[in-house]
Amino acid sequence: MTRLVHSADWEIPISTSSRIQAFWNWFADWHTDIATAYTNGDSFWLSANLTAQVKRIHPRLNWEMGPYHDPDHTLVISPSDRDHIALARLIVDAAPTLPGWHFLPAKPPKLLKSLTIELPGVRVVADEWRYRLTAYNKMEFFDIEVFTPLLETIVDRELESATRRLIESLVGELIYLERFADVKLIRSLDVASMESLTSFAALARHIAHLL
């Protein structure tokens, strides 16, 4: 029978706990090389090493790095879906204290100068997009309708993926995973004329106000 380590809101198998400890032991030994690879934009090294180590804890986990506490480095353990939020938090709770490093259990909101995202062969700019938000259960979760231009060269699947990535970037991964349910795209000939709707760029402020 598998033994369990008990947490306030989650039970974690001993084998997973061991993998978490092994990851941080590895990270403590290699954090200088990781920082160098990030600074040099060496995505091949990071994929072959850091990605592999994170995936050993759980294959659904991802990571992100950034200077969110400039000039220090920040490593984000991304849960990727709602089911692994508790695991990401446990991983970060077990992180060692390393000078020049901060650790987060989800991707933070981004300060975007422009709502721009690159898709295969095309750049999508969402600065003029608009949205309508519907709240349920006293702001427990939201559905969102996003009104975009027709963008006829982009298939629905790619546009929805880009939209979800933009929402996550604006509000942060944790709020996106915990609070957003349905994301519906509505393509329109004239998005800018929809004065009754809210500018997509205001989504983060809107959610912060509601919560």
pLDDT of 128-152, one tens digit each? 899 999 999 999 999 999 999 988 8
Strand partners, 74: 66, 102
Rg (CA), the chain: 19
pTM higher than 0.75, yes or no?
yes
Query: If you average pLDDT over every residue of the chain, what do you get?
Result: 89
Residue 80 Ramachandran class (φ > 0 left, ψ -120 to 50 alpha, else beta): left
